[in-house]
Each structure stands twice: as structure tokens, then as C-alpha cells.
Amino acid sequence: MSHYLAERWVDFVRGLLSEEERAAMKRHLDEGCESCRREVNVLQVMRNFAREEAWAEPPADAVRMAQAIYVPPPRRERALRRLLGRLVFDNFAQPAMAGVRQSGASGQQMGFEAGPYYIDLRLEGEPESSRVALAGQIVSREEPGAPLGGLNVVLLAGRKVVAETVSNEFGEFSLEFSAAKNHRLRITLPQEGVQVNVPLAAHSEENPDIAL
């Protein structure tokens, strides 16, 4: 028996599906799928809380109840959807920016698109050392004001974690690390079940200042 993904059930509960799709999923429930029914029940409770939250804090015991019944299946927690960042802006790759660079803006600034997210990165090499300071921000392209705080941000060299931090309430983060090749930035959004990967090395080969 094949099931529907959690994100489909979220749309189902929020009433965002076509009539045809909704009917097919309703049929799946009516056929007696226990695990999908449980998921829908939890999502409906969550939705009701979200609605009430607009004008009132949910009562503490209701929150406890929701937490008690919402036991996320471990399988899905591991199966994060991976989004690969696509370079859409690089000040070092743009000849028009050369003047700016020479006039003292020494950092490399890059912008990446990854699905519904935009990741802005600034890399500064520290003089007389191989250390690199990275400052970045992740924002939602669909909801620019949406908070993306508390996200785990990891810098990897191959499979090895080189540096790690957590985004602040504005989705901003900063890391420091030793310059090396093949660095990759990974941002995990557990609520969305998404993992954003931004490869730094491939875009930095032309960059003589910061030998990433």
C-alpha cells in the first residue's frame, strides 16, 4: 500500500488541493489507512491551534496534548529533501564590479537560489592568515519576512564538519574557518523537511584572494 507524503496531507488539511486530488486522498483514508489517518488527525489539531493562535494563546494543557500525540516518525525526519543552491550572483565574477572591488570592497559576495530560499553569503579573507570569515543570511523568496531563525548551519569539507552555528531570528549566521577546497554550506530546515546545500568551492576557483 502506498501512502501520501506528509506535505500532501498538510495541503489536504489546509484545503489547498484540487477537488480530484482531495477526493483521491479522502478515499485513501476511507479505505482504512491507519498511519495516514493518524497523521491527518494530528495535522487537524495543529491547524486548529494555528487558527486560534491568531487571537489567543492555546491553553497549556492543549499544547501538552498536541505534543503528546505528535510523535514524528523517525524515518521521515531523516529523509530531508535536499535542495542545491544555484549561484545567481557573484561580485567577483562580474567585470562591472571590478572597480568596486579595487576601491576597497575586498569581500566576495555571492547569492544563491535554492528552491523557495535565497542565501546571501559574504566571504572575507583575514589578512596574514588563512582564516576566512563568512557572514550569511537565508531568506524565504515566497515570504520575505518569514522568520528563519534557530536553523542549524554547518560548513562541511567533504563529510567533515568544519564549523557550525545557528541562524538568528533574521536568518543571519556567521562562521569562521581555515581556507580549504571543497567547502559546502548546509542549512537544515526541520519544519519544512528541507536541507539546503550550497557548494562554495566550485564558484571560488577564480578567486585568488580567498582560496576556498
**Is residue 210 at the binding interface for Zn ion, with CB under 5 A as the rule?**
no
Q: Which of 3, 76, 86, 141 binds Zn ion (CB under 5 A)?
A: 3
Partner residues linked to 199 by β-bridges:
184
Residue 36 and residue 5: Cα distance in Å, rounded? 9
Site for Zn ion in 146-175 (CB under 5 A): none
Degrees to nearest 5, angle at CA 118 with 116 and 119:
140
* Sheet (strand 194-199) strand order: 81-84, 194-199, 183-189, 152-157, 160-166
**Contact mark string toward Zn ion, 23..42, x via CB under 5 A:** ----------x--x------
Grid cell at residue 62: 492543549
Grid cell at residue 73: 516518525
The residue (of 15 and 32) whose beta carbon lies closer to Zn ion is 32
The residue (of 73 and 150) whose beta carbon lies closer to Zn ion is 73
CB of 33 to Zn ion, least distance (A): 3
CB of 135 to Zn ion, least distance (A): 44
Distances (CA, A) of 54 to 10, 66, 140, 142, 181: 19, 18, 22, 21, 48
The residue (of 36 and 132) whose beta carbon lies closer to Zn ion is 36
The residue (of 1 and 60) whose beta carbon lies closer to Zn ion is 1
Q: Count residues contacting Zn ion (CB under 5 A)?
A: 3
> Which residues contribute to the site for Zn ion (CB under 5 A)?
3, 33, 36
